Amino acid sequence: MTNPYTSAPMPQPPVPPQPAFRPAPGWARKRYVLPALGLAFFLGIGAGASDQDAKTSDARPTAASPQPTVTVTATMTTPVEEPEPAPTVTATKTVKVTTTVTAAPAAADDSASDASGASDDDSGSSGGDVYYANCSEARAAGAAPIHRGEPGYASHLDRDNDGVGCDS
């Protein structure tokens, strides 16, 4: 029996002869040509830009010579009628105002009166009884301007802190 591994090798197909110079594929040329063109482009731009700053000794700026010019202006005026003013409309609204006044009960004890006959709680001002949320309410009540110490004065009504609220 013969050994199958020691048999003669199979014949190979013949290899065609290789040419001495093999041309490079198209993509290989682009790898070198395109960067070279880009470099040449940027060098050309740089040379052109640097040439603008250089001045030669024989170059003189040309003087502008005056030349006559003609200017034509046409103006047209047309009369415009002014429109009549719109009629004035005044709307009035009648509001019925009712005021409820609650009378305080008379003091049964006259010992709270002093020698002049006025009670201690009657100081001529209502103190903290009056409160205005804003200057519009104070103006509507006819109390503006309000001075410091008067009924209804509060610091939120006095923006410039000069002692007079709702002064403007």
Token pair in block for residue 42: 């940027």
78-117 pLDDT tens trace: 888 888 888 888 888 888 877 776 766 665 554 444 444 4
Instruction: With a cut of 50, say whether residue 135 has pLDDT above it.
Output: yes
Instruction: With a cut of 60, say whether residue 151 has pLDDT above it.
Output: yes
Instruction: With a cut of 50, say whether residue 124 has pLDDT above it.
Output: no
Which 3-state string (H, E, C) describes 42-94? HHHHHHHHHHHHCCCCCCCCCCCCCCCCCCCCCCCCCCCCCCCCCCCCCCCCC
Q: Are 138 and 166 in contact (CB under 8 A)?
A: yes
